[in-house]
Amino acid sequence: MVIEVAWGARTHTGHRRAENQDAVLAQPPVFAVADGMGGHAGGQLASGLAIDGLRALADKGEPSRLDLLDAVRSIDRAIEARGETDAPGMGTTLTGIALTGSGQDHLVVFNIGDSRSYLLRGSSFVQLTHDHSVVQELIDQGELSAEQAEHHPERHVITRSLGSGEHLDIDWWSIEPKPGDRYLLCSDGLTKELHASEIHHLLTYSPDPTSAAQALLDAALNAGARDNVSVVVVNLLSVDSTPDDPSGLDDETNPRAVAPTAPPPSDDAIREMPR
């Protein structure tokens, strides 16, 4: 399967932070956003190591899903090792998409932490990833509403990251690519400033991926940009599959996978995918 893409990416320190601890990769076949944490030195180092590791993967061409997961495991160990000497406690989120040329997984979305990947398919805008955060766990348990989560004192606390030294637990989804699909990868510096409906609107009215990335960044800056802001937009221009190419969802990913045909948008135009 050959997937042609166009993309745009922006990353910005924002208005309140002294430095940018986010990092982005926009190099087909891999696109990603990482949001580092761990103090002055640690955050930048951790997100940088994650993006460097994925860049090395992208340099080798289309990875298999196992190549991708191996690369993430190596990144996890590298951050943990550097953390022991350079910046104890550092870590990073990581979310993104990888285009894989063959096998069952043509497009893999991956996530650890509270950066997010969204899919705009037609008029349906769907958050693909599930935040690994304290507030998301409280929402899942029915103890907190999404609105309450926006002001919760622990809204920045994540429950999974790369480099933590704990067992690596990364979510991934295999999604059937469709021409016209648009993926948005972003750090929480975007999603904590803008409602999903605003993000959906801005994406819809900026068909060009570079313009879309800039429009989203500008909106986050106008909203205050209290954190670093990173945005990667990837448009699938064409998807060329051969008739005997197995397409569709990999059973292994169920029930986390997105439905092959996105559901009609609900009133608020966004919802979590079923897990």
Interface residue list for Mg ion (CB under 5 A) = 35, 187-189, 227
Q: Decide: helix, strand or coil at residue 212.
A: helix
Min CB(169)–Mg ion separation in Å? 20
In which order are the strands placed within the sheet that holds 182-186?
Answer: 2-12, 229-240, 182-186, 116-121, 124-127
The CB-of-230 to Mg ion minimum distance in angstroms stands at 8
CB of 156 to Mg ion, least distance (A): 7
Q: Which is nearer to Mg ion, 164 or 187 (CB)?
A: 187
CB of 187 to Mg ion, least distance (A): 5
**Residue 176 vs 227, nearer CB to Mg ion:** 227
Nearer to Mg ion, 192 or 256 (CB): 192
CB 267 within 8 A of CB 125: no
Long-range CB contacts for residues 163-166, cutoff 8 Å, separation at least 24: 163/46, 163/49, 163/75, 163/76, 163/78, 163/79, 163/80, 163/82, 163/83, 163/90, 163/91, 163/92, 164/80, 164/91, 165/80, 165/83
d(CA 29, CA 2): 11
Between 105 and 188, name the residue whose CB sits nearer to Mg ion: 188
Cβ proximity to Mg ion, 229 vs 236, nearer residue: 229
Strand partners, 126: 119
Least CB distance from residue 33 to Mg ion, whole Å?
10
How many beta carbons lie within 10 A of that of residue 121, not counting itself? 21
